[in-house]
């Protein structure tokens, strides 16, 4: 288990806006799925591009940024170079996201402005990370994942800005060439590598796992990184051989990463299958299923299979990895902020007592059911089935939002 300390932890008020904004955008993303007509839907439709950016930037990356604000100094045992910058990162990211969504759904002229705000926001985040890393003396695997993921993030953002300028008419380039690199750098390079690094910290910490081999995740991290680089180069150089090598390495890396998760699970001391463990089960089931669908897509070229696999990877894997960890991270931060000073003076709650178990269970059931039904709707291009699943998904998102505000609102009596 990675050694951690709370000596360098930033204040809770700095981090909580990331979780609130991210969860509210998750709810909005769920509501917007009702607008899809999956019988005619294509992954290059403006509605899909708008939704993907809303989900990934507004939910996934917003909450990852908040988690990184807490975990980078805690794990690296050094303070942020300029922790105050996190007060402006999320508003800039939110403004850029809204302009980007308007750009896809209303007028492409908004895209360069949205891209500029996002570039500034993420640029500040990356700058803070790399200046902070200069203080680190030991470059562990977790530190390497932070370095690689942020390099991929910034590169992916550059491709995104160029695409925004192309969509708006300011540049005349082949968008499809840029799209592949942009998607792979952000989803595989930043989010994928970040999840691998965070898993090496959070899963052993919350599961009390010890003495497990880190060989699988080390191999997975390097394979995914090489895979992302291969796909990016193939987009620029138009080399199909390198592209398929990148796809193969990326898919294989996640299977190896899954083997690491199994090792961590088998060595855990905490055997209780709480809402976090159940969320992880569904997340990793979604991951394996999405990878299998990805392989089938590469063999068949069926766009419905691609849409279903992408949906499972985004909503099932990324969505549940993040939402499940909120039930661990938020209670810990609230307890540390409001209850730890009272230890020995009055009765304080246990971390498990701070989770709204009934609401969290409803969220798990409704969201997982909705994701499964939506996947069937996408596979068979059946709009009614998809909208039934979306309705379940919305109810689950409401319960998630309620649970988050409940945990944040807990105070000492």
Cα dihedral 167/173/174/179 (nearest 10): -60
What's the pLDDT score for residue 80?
79
User: Rounded distance, CA 73 to CA 207, Å?
Assistant: 21
Show the tokens assigned to 123: 């640029």
Q: In the structure encoding, which two tokens stand for residue 362, read together?
A: 């409803």
Q: What is the dihedral of CA 128, 130, 136, 141, to 10 degrees?
A: 120
Helix intervals (H) in 77-174: 86-105, 111-133, 141-167
Could you say which residues of the chain have pLDDT below 70? 1-9, 413
β-pair partners for 268: 209
Secondary structure of residue 38 in the 3-state scheme: coil
List % helix, strand, coil for the chain (3-state, nearest 5): 80, 0, 20
- The sign of the torsion formed by the CA atoms of 166, 243, 223, 288 equals positive
Our measurement of the distance from residue 143's CA atom to the centroid of its chain's CA atoms, rounded to an integer in Å, reads 18
Q: Is 92 left (phi over 0), alpha (psi -120 to 50) or beta?
A: alpha
Q: Which residue has the tokens 């409940």?
A: 406
CA 406/CA 399 separation, integer angstroms:
10
Name the burial class of residue 293, with classes exposed (0-12), middle (13-18) and buried (19+) by CB atoms within 10 angstroms of its CB. buried
At 4 the pLDDT is 47
Query: What is the token pair recorded at 101?
Result: 């969504």
Angle value at C-alpha 193, between 192 and 197, nearest 5 degrees: 120
CA pair distance 25, 59, nearest whole angstrom: 6
The one-character DSSP state at 209 is B
Strand intervals (E) in 183-232 = none
Compute φ and ψ for 139, nearest 5 degrees: -95, 85
CA-nearest of 282, 362, 278, 275 to 316 is 282
Distance, CA of 363 to CA of 275 (rounded, Å): 10
Helix (H, G, I), strand (E, B) or coil at 398: helix
CB-count burial class (<10 Å; 0-12, 13-18, 19+) for 269? exposed
pLDDT, tens only, 64-85? 999 988 888 877 777 778 888 9
């Amino acid at each position: 288990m990675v050694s951690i300390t709370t000596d360098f932890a930033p204040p809770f008020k700095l981090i909580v806006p990331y979780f609130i904004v991210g969860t509210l955008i998750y709810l909005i993303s769920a509501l917007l799925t009702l607008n899809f007509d999956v019988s005619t839907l294509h992954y290059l439709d403006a509605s899909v591009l708008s939704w993907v950016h809303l989900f990934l930037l507004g939910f996934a990356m917003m909450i990852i940024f908040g988690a990184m604000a807490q975990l980078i100094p805690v794990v690296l045992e050094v303070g942020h170079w300029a922790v105050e910058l996190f007060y402006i990162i999320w508003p800039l990211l939110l403004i850029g996201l809204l302009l980007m969504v308007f750009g896809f759904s209303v007028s492409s002229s908004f895209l360069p402005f949205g891209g500029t705000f996002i570039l500034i926001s993420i640029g500040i985040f990356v700058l803070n990370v790399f200046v902070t890393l200069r203080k680190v003396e030991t470059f562990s695997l977790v530190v390497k994942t932070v370095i690689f993921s942020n390099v991929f993030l910034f590169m992916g953002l550059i491709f995104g800005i160029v695409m925004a300028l192309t969509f708006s008419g300011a540049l005349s380039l082949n968008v499809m060439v840029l799209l592949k690199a942009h998607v792979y750098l952000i989803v595989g390079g930043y989010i994928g590598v970040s999840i691998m690094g965070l898993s090496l910290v959070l899963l052993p910490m919350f599961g009390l796992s010890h003495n497990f081999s880190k060989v699988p995740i080390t191999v997975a991290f390097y394979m995914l990184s090489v895979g992302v680089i291969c796909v990016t180069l193939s987009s620029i150089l138009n080399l199909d051989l390198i592209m398929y090598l990148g796809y193969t390495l990326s898919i294989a890396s996640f299977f190896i990463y899954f083997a690491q998760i199994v090792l961590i699970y088998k060595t855990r001391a905490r055997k209780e299958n709480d809402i976090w463990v159940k969320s992880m089960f569904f997340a990793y089931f979604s991951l394996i299923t999405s990878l299998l669908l990805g392989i089938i897509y590469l063999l068949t070229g069926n766009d419905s299979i691609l849409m279903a696999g992408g949906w499972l990877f985004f909503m099932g894997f990324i969505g549940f990895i993040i939402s499940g960890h909120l039930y661990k991270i938020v209670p810990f931060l609230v307890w540390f902020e409001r209850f730890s000073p009272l230890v020995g003076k009055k009765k304080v709650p246990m971390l498990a007592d701070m989770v709204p178990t009934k609401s969290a269970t409803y969220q798990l059931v409704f969201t997982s059911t909705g994701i499964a039904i939506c996947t069937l709707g996408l596979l068979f291009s059946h709009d009614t089935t998809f909208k039934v699943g979306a309705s379940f998904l919305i109810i689950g998102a409401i319960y998630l939002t309620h649970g988050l505000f409940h945990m944040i609102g807990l105070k000492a009596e």
